[in-house]
Amino acid sequence: MKAIYKNYFRKKNLLNPVLEALNHVPIFENLLSSELKEVAKLTHERTYKKNEFIFKKMAPAEGMYVILSGNVQIVDPDSDITITSLKENDFFGELALLDEEPRSASAIAITQSRLIGFFRTDLLTLMERSPELGNKLLLNLSRVLGERLRRTNQELTKI
């Protein structure tokens, strides 16, 4: 039965889940809402079943992923080492936005997971359409990769 009275004052969640997730990713940091919406239009959403591969080691690298919901593990199948475990709003695979080298590890959905993909072809399209926005993304991507390299160096010096 439909309610006669509607609460018009209740706050609605006006933010799209894709925009919300992208807003948590440093690569999309400091973008205007219109720019973030432009990026969101180019993303691809997909659901993965529990234990389904998102990509396998040595597969062609095409782009990065952001987790909308679920859990993903990045693993090296050769050594059986779990590199990291990721959850909602985490991202991975961003190096593929810059080069076409094969994947260095596998990504597996540990639970049913909803992901959005942002691929190299999407970035190139965006750079063509809006060079200023493309430059912002590339600068942010460079910062993320630099930070990951610094952390890796710190970890290696502890060994």
Task: Report the candidate in 55, 63, 66, 74 with the shortest Cα–Cα distance to residue 28.
Answer: 66
Q: What is the pLDDT of residues 94-120, one digit of tens each?
A: 999 999 899 999 999 999 999 999 999
Is pLDDT at 66 greater than 80 in this prediction?
yes
Report the predicted TM-score, pTM, of the whole model to 2 decimal places: 0.85
Query: Are residues 30 and 140 in contact, defined by beta-carbon separation less than 8 angstroms?
Result: yes
pLDDT of residue 11: 47
Is pLDDT at 6 greater than 70 in this prediction?
no
Is pLDDT at 3 greater than 70 in this prediction?
no
Q: At what angle do helices 33-41 and 131-158 cross, to 10 degrees?
A: 80
pLDDT of residue 2: 53
Query: Are residues 64 and 92 in contact, defined by beta-carbon separation less than 8 angstroms?
Result: yes
For range 65-75, the mean pLDDT: 98
* CATH superfamily ID and name for 44-158: Jelly Rolls (2.60.120.10)
